[in-house]
């Protein structure tokens, strides 16, 4: 293919990932309920689309793998193969490989990978040689008896597999007075144009007969892709000698065998196939072949997140200039203009809301990869886990979605590893063997709550205290005085865990301090409820969006800053004379508690001179559990701000969380209270 | 984005062995940058100081809703800025996915330089800011220092 496909690569990757996602999802459904035909159909569709896309893009290895998957899936769909755990496992392996391939394509642009191992396994399944196909001895014996009792001397070759559809066709043909013939055609060894001869055979038969089944498949036969001979099942009203006669008139072709067979032998064979694939309930299932509900696809447009950011910027600009217009209208007292501005105001507010809404993504995107992870993990750790997901349609800002995955992985891992007990222990403790792990998301006001709840052993606070003392985080005296809540809080202190970082998932450490700091960086909070012996619940509270927050605008000398309202407890006016010095630190008594004071002008070395006023404004902010007073010159007011990143060059400056474009077009900086001091 | 910057690179060194540059002055010296990296040239916008940033960061500006950091090459190269605020400009560059501006005293012109006229710096120049200079071009009687923008970003 000469066409340059690189421009489609992004779309390809994006869509492939989506299909992989649904594949993963449906595979899990299938594993849970092997009769789930609609899941099977979805899987087939995903694999089929992936095959098409990858071969168009020239990623042959991926196309080949999906092609073989598709073959197996077709068999599964048509009931010629039973869905069991070994098949699902193999499909999962294929899925992993596909993911690997897609990742490789994304990073290196090339999709070369040797998949012969998996392809071989898939082919084995397909030809019925896999374990799955040969499992139940008893069943197949029974089937043999069935077929012999039908009294037909037939069945020993393995090559014909009739599915329900074929059988229905055959039945119908017989009811209309057709007969079924089995023919083996031999083509001369010296024949140069096998395909032509085969075609002539087909032509000769198709006059008044129908070819129900061919081995190899008819398409391959017509392409000449067979060795010496091929086999056919046909239905016809013509007598056997007529057919034989007609076929033997074709040169270089010989009818090796031709005989009439009756339907019962085929249905018996059908049983044998069903039995040998260990599908006791297969016929059952075939009746339910109609998918319960085919999913209706929503009409969507894929948009680059950058474009949305851009749109957001433009809307911001619009709002800003609207502000200027208002100013002009007010200054010049133009009534007409003011009316129009009011309209613009309404429209731009709506526009802003719409753009914000567009950025919202269902948390499903993150949640979808967890069932597989939990399944694998539970298998590895020999735990029996029922994993429930609730509220996956809950929407969150795209930026939060991108960041929340890792902390959740961590919490889920912890729950399976440390929370849930092994089935034996659970039974000893009078709990059901299967542990329950719930991942839940919901809206509440302007926040989204995500909960990870298990019904495991709970947090053993005595053990936590012991470990904290051991690690030197607290001393034994402190430990004695600690409340239950304070002890649990220790889990989040750095140095408590053994894992180095949040990506260090292989470490069995808790690493909750990293989870906590990640969530705090998203302006969220994390809480723990735990009852010993009953279970643990981690609750994460997140803002709906990171892009727009409420902020308090303050001024110091000539500079204006924004303080996120979420970290402001209160504002107060203090008298200079009330300030006291404790260990070289300015403090003030605020309703009985000591409040340390920091002057923003010295913290940020803000240039300029001013005479110290007798009274000064203090913004009381919260850092972790402590309150700190921030001395500023003026409180400008509360405002909804659109947060913008400072960019790569200026990232990581302590005390700064980002920037905003103020109504007058100037840039103002947002203070990050956690890193300011 | 990546494709676009590659194109820029190819475009700037066209087949006839020429490179187009924007020439500007910093104090008494004349500098030039590859025009393909230049996004736009603006009058001095309101620059907001960024506390705790490195000292060669002059601050940030709002460029149609985007926050652009502004680098002060005077402090970086130890040059005295001109007094004439009227002629000062901000040149905004696009480097890969990063945008950044520098303040210059005056933007003089757009020039075509033959690559033959550009000498590599290690042969002729050994000042402290040699790291940021890709080469020196001779145009008539002028000397233009070609800035290496990627080094400046670091």
SS3 labels along B75-119: HHHCCCCCCCCCCCEEEEEEECCEEEEEEECEEEEEEEEEHHHEE
The whole-angstrom separation of Cα A613 and Cα A611 is: 6
How confident is the model over A480-497, as pLDDT tens digits? 888 878 888 888 877 675
Query: Coil, strand, or helix at residue A516?
Result: helix
Residue B127: is its pLDDT beyond 70?
no
Residue A269: is its pLDDT beyond 70?
no
* Neighbour-count burial for A179-217, b at 16+ CB within 10 Å, e otherwise: bbbbbbbebeeebeebbebbbbbbebbeeebebbbbbee
Flag if A646 and B98 touch (Cβ within 8 Å): no
Residue A592: is its pLDDT beyond 60?
yes
Sheet holding B89-95, edge to edge: B38-43, B89-95, B98-104, B66-71, B57-63
Mutate to test the interface with B, among A313, A645, A647, A672 (most CBs of B within 10 A): A647
Range of lowest pLDDT (A4-18, A96-110, A156-170, A432-446): A156-170
A313 CA: distance to closest CA in chain B (Å): 5
The CATH number assigned to the domain with range A548-676 reads 2.40.50.180
Q: Which residues, including other chains, have CB under 8 Å from residue A470's CB and lie 6 or more apart? A: none
Flag if A646 and B49 touch (Cβ within 8 Å): no
Residue A670: is its pLDDT beyond 90?
yes
A112 CA: distance to closest CA in chain B (Å): 24
Residue A164: is its pLDDT beyond 80?
no
Cα separations in angstroms, B134 against A649, B121, B148: 21, 6, 5
Flag if B52 and A645 touch (Cβ within 8 Å): no
A661: which chain B residues are within 8 Å (Cβ-Cβ)? Answer: 62, 65, 67
B62: which chain A residues are within 8 Å (Cβ-Cβ)? Answer: 661, 665-667
Residue A5: is its pLDDT beyond 70?
no
Flag if A559 and B49 touch (Cβ within 8 Å): yes
The CATH number assigned to the domain with range A153-261 reads 3.30.70.1110
The whole-angstrom separation of Cα B117 and Cα B23 is: 15
The CATH number assigned to the domain with range A364-543 reads 3.30.565.10
The whole-angstrom separation of Cα A479 and Cα A466 is: 8
A448 CA: distance to closest CA in chain B (Å): 28
What is the total residue count of chain A? Answer: 677
Q: Is A48 a catalytic residue?
A: yes
Strands B66-71 and B98-104: parallel
Q: What is the pLDDT of residue A287?
A: 39
Chain B residue with minimum CA distance to A648: B98
Flag if B67 and A666 touch (Cβ within 8 Å): no
Domain A6-134 classification at class level: mainly alpha
Mean pLDDT for B110-114 is: 89
Q: What would you measure as the largest C-alpha separation in chain B, in angstroms?
A: 46
| A206, A235 contact by CB (below 8 A) | no
Q: Which residue among the candidates A41, A67, A68, A70 is catalytic per the annotation?
A: A70
Which tokens hold the place of A523?
């302006």
Mutate to test the interface with B, among A310, A630, A667, A676 (most CBs of B within 10 A): A667
Flag if B46 and A313 touch (Cβ within 8 Å): no
Strands A559-564 and A667-671: parallel
Mutate to test the interface with A, among B53, B67, B93 (most CBs of A within 10 A): B67
DSSP string, A193-229: -HHHHHHHHHHHHHTTEEEEEEES-HHHHHTT-SSSE
pLDDT band at A279 (very low <50, low <70, confident <90, very high): very low
Flag if B48 and A605 touch (Cβ within 8 Å): no
Q: Which residue among the candidates A18, A48, A364, A418 is catalytic per the annotation?
A: A48
Flag if B52 and A317 touch (Cβ within 8 Å): no
Mean pLDDT for A340-344 is: 85
Sheet holding B133-139, edge to edge: B106-114, B18-26, B29-34, B142-147, B133-139, B118-120
The whole-angstrom separation of Cα A520 and Cα A504 is: 19
Which of A147-151, A169-173, A589-593, B47-51 shows the highest mean pLDDT? B47-51
Q: Which residue has the tokens 């809950």?
A: A394
Question: Domain ranges in chain A?
Answer: 6-134, 153-261, 305-359, 364-543, 548-676
pLDDT band at A677 (very low <50, low <70, confident <90, very high): confident
Residue A573: is its pLDDT beyond 90?
yes
| B50, A656 contact by CB (below 8 A) | yes
Mean pLDDT for A501-511 is: 43
Residue A531: is its pLDDT beyond 90?
no
| B139, B117 contact by CB (below 8 A) | yes
DSSP string, chain B: -HHHHHHHHHHHS-TTSEEEEEEEEETTEEEEEEGGGEEEEEEPPPPBP-TTS-TTEEEEEEETTEEEEEE-HHHHHT-PPPS-STT-EEEEEEETTEEEEEEESEEEEEEEEEGGGEEEHHHH--SGGGGGEEEEEEETTEEEEEE-HHHHH-
More confident residue, A604 or A239: A604
The whole-angstrom separation of Cα A163 and Cα A277 is: 13
Flag if B98 and A605 touch (Cβ within 8 Å): no
**Which CATH number characterizes residue B55's domain?**
2.40.50.180
Mean pLDDT for A181-210 is: 79
Mean pLDDT for A8-32 is: 81
**Cα-Cα-Cα-Cα dihedral of A46, A52, A54, A56, to 10°?**
-160
Kindly report the average pLDDT of chain B as a whole number: 81
Chain A residue with minimum CA distance to B100: A649
Cα separations in angstroms, B56 against A184, A341, A608, B34, B68: 87, 42, 20, 22, 14
Quote the number of domains for chain B: 1
The residues with which A580 forms a beta bridge, in sequence order, are A587
Which of A168-172, A273-277, A465-469 shows the highest mean pLDDT? A465-469
- On whether any CB of chain A is under 8 Å from the CB of B100, the answer is yes
E-strand ranges in A86-151 read: none
Q: What is the pLDDT of residue B48?
A: 94
Range of lowest pLDDT (A134-148, B73-87, B109-123): A134-148
A490 CA: distance to closest CA in chain B (Å): 32
B46: which chain A residues are within 8 Å (Cβ-Cβ)? Answer: 665-667
Express the helix, strand and coil content of chain A in percent, nearest 5 each. Answer: 45, 25, 30
Q: What is the pLDDT of residue A168?
A: 72
Q: Is the peptide bond before A460 cis (omega within 30 degrees of 0)?
A: no
More confident residue, A86 or A615: A615
Q: Which residues, including other chains, have CB under 8 Å from residue A238's CB and lie 6 or more apart? A: A208, A209
* pLDDT-above-70 percentage for chain A: 84
| B145, B32 contact by CB (below 8 A) | yes
Residue A107, judged by CB atoms within 10 A of its CB (0-12, 13-18, 19+), counts as exposed
Q: Is A186 a catalytic residue?
A: no
Q: Which residues, including other chains, have CB under 8 Å from residue A628's CB and lie 6 or more apart? A: A595, A596, A597, A598, A620, A621, A622, A673, A677
| A621, A627 contact by CB (below 8 A) | yes
Neighbours of A55 (CB within 10 A): 16
Q: Which residues, including other chains, have CB under 8 Å from residue A97's CB and lie 6 or more apart? A: A65, A113, A115, A118
The whole-angstrom separation of Cα A302 and Cα A314 is: 20
Residue A271: is its pLDDT beyond 70?
no
Mean pLDDT for A183-192 is: 79
Which residues of A lie inside 8 Å of B (Cβ-Cβ)? 313-314, 316-317, 559, 604-607, 644-650, 653-656, 659, 661, 665-669
How confident is the model over B61-108, as pLDDT tens digits? 988 778 999 998 888 888 888 888 888 999 999 988 889 999 999 999
Flag if B61 and A668 touch (Cβ within 8 Å): no
Between A and B, how many CB-CB pairs are < 8 A?
Answer: 73
pLDDT band at B10 (very low <50, low <70, confident <90, very high): very low
B6: which chain A residues are within 8 Å (Cβ-Cβ)? Answer: none
Residue B154: is its pLDDT beyond 80?
no
Q: What is the pLDDT of residue A146?
A: 43
Closest by Cβ to A313, choosing from B59, B65, B99: B65
Q: Rounded to an integer, what is the distance from CA A521 to the centroid of its chain?
A: 23
A667: which chain B residues are within 8 Å (Cβ-Cβ)? Answer: 46, 48, 59-62, 67
Q: What is the pLDDT of residue A302?
A: 77
Which tokens hold the place of A348?
């731009």
A587 CA: distance to closest CA in chain B (Å): 24
Flag if B57 and A659 touch (Cβ within 8 Å): no
Kindly report the average pLDDT of chain A as a whole number: 78
Residues 63-92, chain B: which have Cβ within 8 Å of A?
A: 64-69
How confident is the model over A308-319, as pLDDT tens digits? 878 877 877 787
Q: Is A332 a catalytic residue?
A: no
Which tokens hold the place of B27?
């104090």
Cα separations in angstroms, B87 against B35, B58, B62, B105, B120: 20, 18, 20, 6, 30
- CATH number assigned to the domain with residue range A305-359, chosen from the 4 options 1.10.287.560, 3.30.413.10, 3.40.50.10190, 3.50.50.100: 1.10.287.560
B57: which chain A residues are within 8 Å (Cβ-Cβ)? Answer: 649-650
Which tokens hold the place of A602?
């010295």
Range of lowest pLDDT (A155-159, A302-306, A372-376, B38-42): A155-159
Mean pLDDT for A572-586 is: 91
Closest by Cβ to B48, choosing from A317, A605, A669: A669
Mutate to test the interface with A, among B53, B62, B90 (most CBs of A within 10 A): B62
CA-nearest of A437, A362, A438, A375 to A404 is A362
| A549, A642 contact by CB (below 8 A) | no
| A547, A640 contact by CB (below 8 A) | no
Residue A450: is its pLDDT beyond 90?
yes
- On whether any CB of chain A is under 8 Å from the CB of B123, the answer is no
- On whether any CB of chain A is under 8 Å from the CB of B7, the answer is no
Mean pLDDT for B41-58 is: 90
Q: What is the pLDDT of residue B124?
A: 53
pLDDT band at A595 (very low <50, low <70, confident <90, very high): very high
Q: What is the pLDDT of residue A161?
A: 60
CA-nearest of B80, B42, B35, B32 to B63 is B42
Residue A363: is its pLDDT beyond 70?
yes
**Cα-Cα-Cα-Cα dihedral of B21, B26, B28, B33, to 10°?**
-20
DSSP label at A459?
-
The whole-angstrom separation of Cα A182 and Cα A159 is: 12
Flag if A650 and B153 touch (Cβ within 8 Å): no
What residues make up the domain containing B100?
Answer: 2-153
């Amino acid at each position: 293919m000469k066409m340059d496909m690189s421009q489609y690569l992004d779309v390809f990757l994006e869509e492939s990932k989506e299909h992989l996602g649904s594949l993963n999802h449906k595979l899990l459904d299938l594993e849970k309920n092997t009769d789930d035909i609609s899941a099977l159909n979805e899987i087939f569709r995903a694999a089929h689309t992936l095959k098409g896309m990858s071969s168009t893009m020239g990623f042959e290895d991926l196309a080949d793998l999906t092609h073989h998957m598709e073959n197996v899936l077709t068999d599964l769909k048509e009931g010629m193969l039973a869905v069991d755990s070994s098949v699902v496992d193999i499909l999962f392996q294929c899925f992993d490989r596909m993911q690997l391939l897609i990742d490789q394509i994304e990073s290196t642009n090339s999709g070369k990978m040797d998949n012969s191992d998996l392809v071989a396994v898939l082919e084995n399944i397909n030809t019925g040689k896999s374990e799955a196909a040969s499992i139940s001895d008893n069943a197949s014996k029974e089937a043999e008896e069935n077929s012999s009792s039908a009294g037909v001397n037939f069945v020993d070759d393995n090559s014909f597999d009739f599915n329900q559809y074929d059988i229905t066709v055959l039945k119908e043909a017989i009811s209309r007075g057709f007969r079924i013939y089995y023919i083996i055609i031999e083509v001369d060894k010296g024949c140069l144009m096998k395909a032509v001869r085969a075609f002539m055979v087909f032509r000769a038969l198709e006059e008044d007969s129908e070819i129900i089944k061919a081995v190899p498949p008819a398409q391959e036969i017509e392409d000449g892709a067979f060795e010496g001979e091929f086999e056919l099942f046909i239905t016809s009203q013509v007598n056997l000698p007529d057919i034989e006669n007609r076929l033997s008139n074709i040169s270089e072709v010989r009818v090796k065998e031709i005989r009439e067979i009756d339907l019962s032998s085929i249905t018996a064979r059908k049983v044998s196939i069903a039995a040998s694939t260990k599908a006791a309930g297969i016929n059952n299932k075939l009746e339910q072949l109609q998918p319960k509900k085919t999913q209706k696809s929503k009409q969507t447009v894929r948009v680059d997140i950058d474009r949305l950011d851009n749109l957001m910027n433009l809307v911001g600009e619009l709002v800003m200039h609207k502000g200027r217009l208002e100013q002009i209208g007010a200054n010049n007292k133009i009534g007409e203009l003011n009316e129009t501005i009011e309209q613009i105001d309404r429209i731009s507010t709506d526009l802003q809301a719409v753009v914000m809404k567009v950025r919202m993504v269902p948390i499903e995107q993150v949640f979808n990869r967890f069932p597989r992870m939990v399944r694998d993990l539970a298998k590895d750790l020999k735990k029996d886990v029922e994993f429930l997901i609730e509220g996956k349609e809950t929407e969150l800002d795209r930026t939060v979605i991108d960041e929340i995955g890792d902390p959740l992985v961590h919490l889920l891992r912890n729950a399976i590893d440390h929370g849930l007990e092994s089935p034996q222990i659970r039974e000893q403790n009078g709990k059901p063997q299967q542990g329950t792990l719930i991942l839940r998301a919901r809206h509440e006001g302007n926040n989204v709550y995500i909960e990870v709840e298990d019904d495991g052993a709970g947090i053993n606070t005595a053990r936590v205290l012991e470990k904290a003392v051991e690690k030197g985080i607290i001393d034994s005296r402190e430990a004695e005085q600690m409340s239950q809540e304070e002890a649990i809080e220790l889990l989040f202190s750095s140095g408590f865990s053994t894992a180095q970082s949040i990506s260090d998932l292989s470490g069995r450490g808790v690493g909750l301090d990293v989870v906590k700091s990640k969530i705090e960086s998203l302006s969220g909070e994390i809480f723990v409820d735990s009852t010993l012996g009953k279970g643990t619940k981690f609750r994460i509270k997140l803002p709906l969006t990171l892009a727009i927050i409420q902020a308090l605008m303050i001024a110091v000398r000539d500079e204006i800053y924004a303080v996120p309202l979420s970290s402001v407890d209160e504002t107060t006016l203090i008298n200079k004379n009330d300030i006291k010095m404790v260990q070289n630190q300015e403090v003030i008594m605020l309703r009985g508690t000591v409040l340390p004071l920091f002057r923003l002008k010295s913290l940020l070395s803000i240039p300029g001179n001013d005479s110290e006023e007798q009274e000064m404004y203090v913004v009381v902010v919260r850092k972790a559990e402590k309150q700190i007073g921030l001395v500023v010159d003026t409180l400008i007011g509360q405002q909804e701000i659109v947060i913008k990143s400072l960019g790569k060059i200026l990232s990581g400056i302590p005390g700064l969380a980002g920037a905003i474009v103020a109504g007058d077009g100037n840039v103002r900086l947002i203070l990050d209270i956690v890193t300011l001091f | 984005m990546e494709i676009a910057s590659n194109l820029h690179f190819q475009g700037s060194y066209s087949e006839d062995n020429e490179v187009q540059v924007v020439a500007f002055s910093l104090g008494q010296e004349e500098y030039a940058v590859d025009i393909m990296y230049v996004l736009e040239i603006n009058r001095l916008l309101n620059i907001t100081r960024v506390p705790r940033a490195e000292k060669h960061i002059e601050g940030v500006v709002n460029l149609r809703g985007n926050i652009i950091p502004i680098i002060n090459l005077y402090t970086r190269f130890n040059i005295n800025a001109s007094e004439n605020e009227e002629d000062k400009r901000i040149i905004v560059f696009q480097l890969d996915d990063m945008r950044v501006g520098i303040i210059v005293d005056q933007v003089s012109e757009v020039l075509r330089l033959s690559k033959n006229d550009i000498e590599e710096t290690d042969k002729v120049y050994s000042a402290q800011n040699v790291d940021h200079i890709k080469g020196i071009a001779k145009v008539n009687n002028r000397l233009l220092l070609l800035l290496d923008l990627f080094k400046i970003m670091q």
